[in-house]
Chains A and B, each alone.
Chain A
Amino acid sequence: MESAAIAAAPVVNMSAWALFLQADLVVKAVVVLLILMSLWSWAIIFDKVFRLRSLFKQAEQFEEKFWSGQSLEDLFERVGQRPREPMATIFTAAMREWRRSAGKGGTPPASASGSALLGERIDRVMKISLEREMDHLHRRMIFLASTGSVAPFLGLFGTVWGIMNTFTAIGASSDTSLATVAPGIAEALFATALGLVAAIPAVVFYNKISSDLSRYALRLENFAGEFGAILSRQLDVK
């Protein structure tokens, strides 16, 4: 009798793919969405991590060149019109402004107020350039942040939906054995697992990347401040 009961119990394939195929349409949609979110957030993570690493390296190299004692004009010529990294971009923006004002007549403005205005303009140009660069670097960070906070809820939604369906099915079949209850709940919990899998790295790397970005922003600001000081000193000297 018991063997008959066992034979009658559905043999359930608990593999992840089978769970996914058995799931309700809403649960499927949630799972697909979570997988896409995970893919995209990891793409952003890799992109940002590699980008930041290379940016720090480039900033190191540029500062080395900048402080190596060669003339700023030479450095400007070397960097060229299309700088490849934010620090160089700030440098070229400032140098361009400097040349445009100072190099108009070949000489810097004679009056103190004129040189003060030039210094202010250069500062402003550098600040704008810095902000634009940081804005570029911050792009898509919002996706990481919202993945980190939303993915668990999305997974939870999938789970709740799946469990609701499961209980409806249990009520309809009026069979409460573990064999009938378990697969539906497992399939529903799968969504929560995916939500956590998507969210955890997103949160961790969001924290890491944003702290790295603020370090980099600080470095750029320091560079801009120092460069502005050098330029204003030159204005005073001339």
Chain B
Amino acid sequence: MLRDTPNTGLIFSVLLHAAIVGAAYVSIPFMKRDVIQEPMVRMEIPVIDEISAAPPPPTPEPIKEPEPVAPTPEPQVVEAPSSDAMPPPPEKPAPIEEKKKPDVPIVKPPPRKPTPPDTKKRDVAMLESLLKDMQKTAPKPKPQAESKVQDTAQNMAPNISDRASMTERAAIIAHIESCWRIDPGQEGVEDMSAEIRVFINPDGSVQKLEIVDMARYLVDSQFRNFTNTGRNAILGCGKIPMISAANYATFKEMVLNFSPQGRIN
């Protein structure tokens, strides 16, 4: 009997498989060509670049200078002289003391009442505490200004020092952007933005990172993926180029806003 080997069956089977593979090769697209090379991705990227690279820096700056001059510069301008003016106050008290002795009752009771005790130690202590206060207040406005910049994107960078720091900031951002690998295929990525607070060591290495919206980071996996791309960019980028060590205080803590539309702010 002819039942030992399914010869005809084998032939039919081979033919069937060949036909299926052929049909699949012809009709199913992914069997033939690569998927990732689609031009779609490349079309999008230049658009993002144009949007991000050009507008934010040039337009805001001219606008900034006239408007905000009033609010922010004053405190800083004041700070600078005050810190420089440290020497004068100690000099002043001496003449004042001399003057006071005659004038004590008459002229300056209210303003000088703090000074009348006039022991230099106290005066110095006062100045120091004043200076400390100034120092405390001095750094504060800058981060606030920065966060305002990040938040509102109406860059409020009023005076020269701030503008210098903005270019340095731009350099830092450019450095990190070069390491940022965004996943353009991620769902909802174009509407996403993540803020990461970066603490930088004096040598430019990254001390630590904080994800600002930690609650969402823990809950929303899309957001987490997106934030992680930014985090990887910062961590994987090596030392951050510090253009001037003098401005370290400004940059030791920065909030970077990662958004695929505006890139990093």
Binding site for B on A (CB under 8 A): 1-6, 9, 11-16, 18, 35, 38-48, 50-51, 84, 136-137, 139-140, 174-179, 182
Task: Say whether B165 faces chain A, with CB atoms less than 8 Å apart.
Answer: no
A14 & B9 in contact (Cβ 8 Å cutoff)? no
Residues of B within 8 A of A175 (CB): 181
Task: Say whether B101 faces chain A, with CB atoms less than 8 Å apart.
Answer: no
Binding site for A on B (CB under 8 A): 1, 3, 6, 8-10, 12-14, 16-17, 24, 30-37, 41-42, 45-46, 48-49, 174, 177-178, 180-183, 185-186, 228-229, 232, 236
Return A29 CB to nearest CB of chain B, in Å. Answer: 19
A178 & B186 in contact (Cβ 8 Å cutoff)? yes
Most chain A beta-carbon neighbours within 10 Å: one of B12, B13, B174: B13
Q: In the complex, what distance in Å separates the CA atom of A51 from the CA atom of B42?
A: 58
Q: In the complex, what distance in Å separates the CA atom of A17 from the CA atom of B34?
A: 11
User: Given A42-B13, A136-B1, do A5 and B182 touch, yes or no (CB 8 Å)?
Assistant: yes
Q: In the complex, what distance in Å separates the CA atom of A30 from the CA atom of B197?
A: 48
Q: In the complex, what distance in Å separates the CA atom of A142 from the CA atom of B46?
A: 60
Q: In the complex, what distance in Å separates the CA atom of A40 from the CA atom of B186?
A: 42
A47 & B181 in contact (Cβ 8 Å cutoff)? no
A47 & B1 in contact (Cβ 8 Å cutoff)? no
A14 & B30 in contact (Cβ 8 Å cutoff)? yes
Residues of B within 8 A of A15 (CB): 30-34
Q: In the complex, what distance in Å separates the CA atom of A94 from the CA atom of B17?
A: 44
Q: In the complex, what distance in Å separates the CA atom of A48 from the CA atom of B13?
A: 12
Task: Return 8 A-B CB contacts under 8 Å, by A number.
Answer: A5-B182, A14-B35, A40-B10, A41-B13, A43-B12, A44-B9, A45-B13, A140-B6
Q: Classify the secondary structure of A's interface with B.
A: helix
A46 & B6 in contact (Cβ 8 Å cutoff)? yes
Q: In the complex, what distance in Å separates the CA atom of A129 from the CA atom of B1?
A: 14
A2 & B37 in contact (Cβ 8 Å cutoff)? no
What 18 new A-B contacts, CB under 8 Å, besides A14-B34, A43-B9? A1-B174, A1-B177, A1-B178, A2-B49, A4-B178, A14-B30, A35-B17, A38-B17, A41-B13, A42-B16, A43-B6, A43-B12, A46-B6, A46-B9, A47-B8, A48-B6, A177-B181, A178-B185
A16 & B31 in contact (Cβ 8 Å cutoff)? yes
Closest to A140 in B: B6
B12 & A42 in contact (Cβ 8 Å cutoff)? yes
Return A192 CB to nearest CB of chain B, in Å. Answer: 16
Q: In the complex, what distance in Å separates the CA atom of A38 from the CA atom of B177?
A: 50
Contact partner of B183 (CB less than 8 A), chosen from A4, A14, A177, is A177
Return A91 CB to nearest CB of chain B, in Å. Answer: 15
Contact partner of A1 (CB less than 8 A), chosen from B1, B12, B49, is B49
Residues of A within 8 A of B14 (CB): 39, 43
A40 & B36 in contact (Cβ 8 Å cutoff)? no
Contact partner of A39 (CB less than 8 A), chosen from B13, B41, B177, B229, is B13
A47 & B33 in contact (Cβ 8 Å cutoff)? no
Contact partner of A176 (CB less than 8 A), chosen from B13, B37, B45, B228, is B228
Contact partner of B3 (CB less than 8 A), chosen from A4, A9, A39, A51, is A51
Return B211 CB to nearest CB of chain A, in Å. Answer: 16
Return B264 CB to nearest CB of chain A, in Å. Answer: 10
B13 & A43 in contact (Cβ 8 Å cutoff)? yes
Q: In the complex, what distance in Å separates the CA atom of A157 from the CA atom of B213?
A: 40
Contact partner of B49 (CB less than 8 A), chosen from A3, A46, A47, is A3
